[in-house]
Amino acid sequence: MINKVITKGEFEKFISGIIDANETIGPKQVDTDRDGKPVYQFRQVKSFGEMDLDYTITYSSVKNFFLPFREELSRFDFSEKDWDQTVEYRVNPRAIIGVRPCDINALNILDKVLIGGAYPSPYYLARRRNTFLVGMDHEPLEDCFCESLGQDTVHRGFNLFCEDIGDKYYLTIMSSKAFRFLENVKVTDPTKEDDIKFHERRKRLRDMFKTKVEMTGLQSVMDIEFKSPVWKKWGDKCLNCGSCAMVCPTCYCYGIEENIDVGLKSSRKERVQYSCNLVDFAEVAGGHNFRPLKEDRLKYRYYHHYRGFAQNGDEPICVGCNRCGRACLAGINPKDVINELQLES
Amino acid sequence: MEYLGIEPKKARIGVFDFTCCEGCELQLANKEDSLVDFLALVEVVNFREVSSDRGQDYDIALIEGSISREDEVERLKQIREKAKILVTLGTCACFGGVNSIKNRFDIDDVVSEVYGKNKVETLPVRKVSDIVKVDLAIPGCPVSKSEVERIVVNLVTGAAVNLPKYPVCVECKQKGNTCVVDLGEICLGPVTRAGCDAACPTGKTGCLGCRGAAEDANFDSLREILREKGHSDEAIDERLRFYNAFSEELKNEG
């Protein structure tokens, strides 16, 4: 890890160079909400000016650039008496600019699941390894609670991270690729004054968090509260629409489809992003549904995030971005659900 | 044409329209890039929009439209007798569709409003399953050609035929759309069966529910949410009645 500083003017030059030479994805205003506030999404960009690096939060996470909603795993081509299988997971190098710490931490969690497990996913791995990731800090929103989960800062899983210290960015360089790229622009070693600004910025951001979620002892509390009326209360409101899982930066559950092309000359095996909140997630052959109740489906999503994964993966799967809470029309959000379980409210 | 060495069972189909706009049938002839392959899967023996053949030896009857006249009832029953499999194609055949608006008024008033002095014989609008047994329903206004293709491929190769059970929101979120409920619209996406690729919300219009109810849809919760956002029960009911696709749910409400 090497720290440098770069002026915002030089930074624009640096990023523009990346955009000119690579497929680049960045935060873009795509819409305006009911109150006239901008709505942001990660989209492919062709110029620096298209991005808004001071964006609040993207409505959807960056996850689906690594785990597409629908992805071809294998293709089969049939000939007279034979068939061929094609597996294609090579991807072109690309860059994603302006990813927040919580979203990089989310990718680090997905790495554990999709690369660290017994059967690593070559599809995910190819996308992850071929993505040049430029992270960026930001002022938390009122409902961000990544700090409660210790996910408000990030220490790995990116090439370059930028902290805004006024007219300059304080850079953390995490890869030789980033170091080499930066040789094309003017960067300097941080001065004492830059270091102080860096600490001040960190402290200021930390002090801005308004939403606290009580994580202490949550795993055992969830064991005790398995039959809590909290689940029925929120389950009755749940639309089971899967919006939470679609916008979540870590929800990775999926289904596999096999689709035959119309001409019957080829077929595809595809992975499709799914959600445990959807009615037939736990339906098996013969039609039996292991989770026929809304409240159970909602409950098990929370158990996967904060209980099961926390036990197996040493940390909750949630990074506290509250995208699920914002996307949920029924107002279901981790802060209220967990704090109720913790008898905090 | 073989699939994995097995000759697929080519389906002999007849397409029949009743009270409708014939838009769903038109969808069958749409999507030109795969139309030749699609037509190779089936043997069209009766389909007014694409062929002059009027064969009666079909295995699968695709029915478009709702039933609103006595002669339609008789014709439908005859088709049911001949068909091994009867499929309703589109929202009108599956639920009654927009035509069902007629049922909200006095039938004589409706006839004189539309036809003036030239009175015609008519009945309240019914969906196909009110009259004959339906083996498979493909909803949508219009139906999605991709979905029809998938279903036909599965039928001829002997694979299971399934529609999505979850609501439109899944596809809408995958499109990266801004939620139209958040923008102040009434949207039935959270309770409507997916499969349309969220066409209406993607065009910034609230879902009208043409594909009918998703499985285990939470109507009470959606109504509560829409009320809190300032929509009246009348406006919500009006939306639910648009395609007559939620008549059961409206009936069950206290």
Is A264–B1 a contact, with Cβ atoms under 8 angstroms apart? yes
Say if residues A237 and A331 touch (Cβ distance below 8 Å): yes
Q: Say if residue A286 is in the same domain as residue A249.
A: yes
Q: Say if residue B208 is in the same domain as residue B145.
A: no
Query: Hey, is the C-beta of A74 within 8 angstroms of any chain B C-beta?
Result: no
Per-residue model confidence (pLDDT) at position A320: 97
Q: Say if residue B29 is in the same domain as residue B113.
A: yes
pLDDT tens by residue, A97-138: 999 999 999 999 999 999 998 999 999 999 999 999 999 999
Looking at every residue in chain B, the average pLDDT score rounds to 93
Q: A23 lies in a domain?
A: yes
Q: B76 lies in a domain?
A: yes
| Spatial distance between the Cα atoms of A16 and B191, rounded to a whole number of angstroms | 44
Per-residue model confidence (pLDDT) at position B92: 98
pLDDT tens by residue, B24-57: 999 998 889 999 999 899 999 988 877 787 888 8
Q: B1 lies in a domain?
A: no
What is the pLDDT averaged over residues A243-257? 96
Q: Say if residue B146 is in the same domain as residue B177.
A: no
Chain B residues whose CB is inside 8 A of the A327 CB are 173, 179
Q: Say if residue A116 is in the same domain as residue A31.
A: yes
Q: Say if residue A117 is in the same domain as residue A199.
A: yes
Q: Say if residue B134 is in the same domain as residue B27.
A: yes
Q: Say if residue A196 is in the same domain as residue A276.
A: no
Handedness of CA B229, B232, B238, B244 (dihedral sign): positive
Residue B8 has pLDDT above 80, yes or no: no
pLDDT tens by residue, A39-84: 999 999 999 999 999 999 999 999 999 999 999 999 999 988 889 9
Q: How far off is chain B from A216, nearest CA to CA, in Å? A: 32
When comparing pLDDT for B208 and B4, which is higher?
B208
Q: Say if residue B23 is in the same domain as residue B47.
A: yes
B16: domain range?
Answer: 11-157
By C-alpha distance, which of B213, B205, B198, B202 is closest to B245?
Answer: B213
Of the partner residues A41, A78, A81, the one whose CB lies closest to the CB of residue B176: A41
Domain end marker among A162, A178, A207: A207
Chain A residues whose CB is inside 8 A of the B150 CB are 259
Query: Hey, is the C-beta of A294 within 8 angstroms of any chain B C-beta?
Result: yes
Percent of chain A at pLDDT above 70?
Answer: 99
DSSP state of B213: B
Of the partner residues B173, B215, B221, the one whose CB lies closest to the CB of residue A247: B173
Q: Say if residue A42 is in the same domain as residue A167.
A: yes
Domain end marker among A172, A207, A242: A207
Q: Say if residue B33 is in the same domain as residue B133.
A: yes
Domain end marker among A156, A181, A207: A207
Q: Say if residue B70 is in the same domain as residue B50.
A: yes
| Spatial distance between the Cα atoms of A133 and A160, rounded to a whole number of angstroms | 7
From chain B, which residues contact A within 8 Å (Cβ)?
1-5, 8, 34, 37-38, 40-41, 149-150, 153-154, 157, 159, 165-167, 169-170, 173-174, 176, 178-179, 181-184, 189-191, 214-218, 220-222, 224-225
> SS3 for A334?
helix
Q: A126 lies in a domain?
A: yes
Of the partner residues B174, B190, B215, the one whose CB lies closest to the CB of residue A279: B215
pLDDT tens by residue, B84-114: 999 999 999 999 999 999 999 999 999 999 9
DSSP state of B34: G
- Look at chain A and report how many structural domains it folds into: 2
Of the partner residues B40, B184, B221, the one whose CB lies closest to the CB of residue A239: B221
| Spatial distance between the Cα atoms of B138 and A292, rounded to a whole number of angstroms | 24
Residue A221 has pLDDT above 50, yes or no: yes
Q: Say if residue B45 is in the same domain as residue B138.
A: yes
Residue A188 has pLDDT above 70, yes or no: yes
Residue B5 has pLDDT above 90, yes or no: no
Q: Say if residue B119 is in the same domain as residue B201.
A: no
Q: Say if residue A185 is in the same domain as residue A276.
A: no
- Look at chain B and report how many structural domains it folds into: 2
pLDDT tens by residue, A199-212: 999 999 999 999 99
Q: Say if residue B212 is in the same domain as residue B153.
A: no
Residue A326 binned pLDDT confidence (cut-offs 50, 70, 90):
very high
Percent of chain B at pLDDT above 70?
Answer: 96
Residue A143 has pLDDT above 60, yes or no: yes
Is B165–A278 a contact, with Cβ atoms under 8 angstroms apart? yes
Residue B254 binned pLDDT confidence (cut-offs 50, 70, 90):
very low
Q: B15 lies in a domain?
A: yes
A122: domain range?
Answer: 2-207
Q: Say if residue B151 is in the same domain as residue B38.
A: yes
Q: A213 lies in a domain?
A: no
A 215-274 residues inside an 8 A Cβ radius of B: 236-243, 246-247, 259-264, 273
| Spatial distance between the Cα atoms of A303 and A316, rounded to a whole number of angstroms | 10
Domain end marker among B124, B157, B190: B157
Residue B159 has pLDDT above 50, yes or no: yes
Q: Say if residue A19 is in the same domain as residue A163.
A: yes
Spacing of C-alpha A324 from chain mean position: 12
Residue B250 binned pLDDT confidence (cut-offs 50, 70, 90):
confident
Residue of A nearest to B34 (CA): A262
Residue A345 has pLDDT above 60, yes or no: no
Please tell me the pTM assigned to this model. 0.94
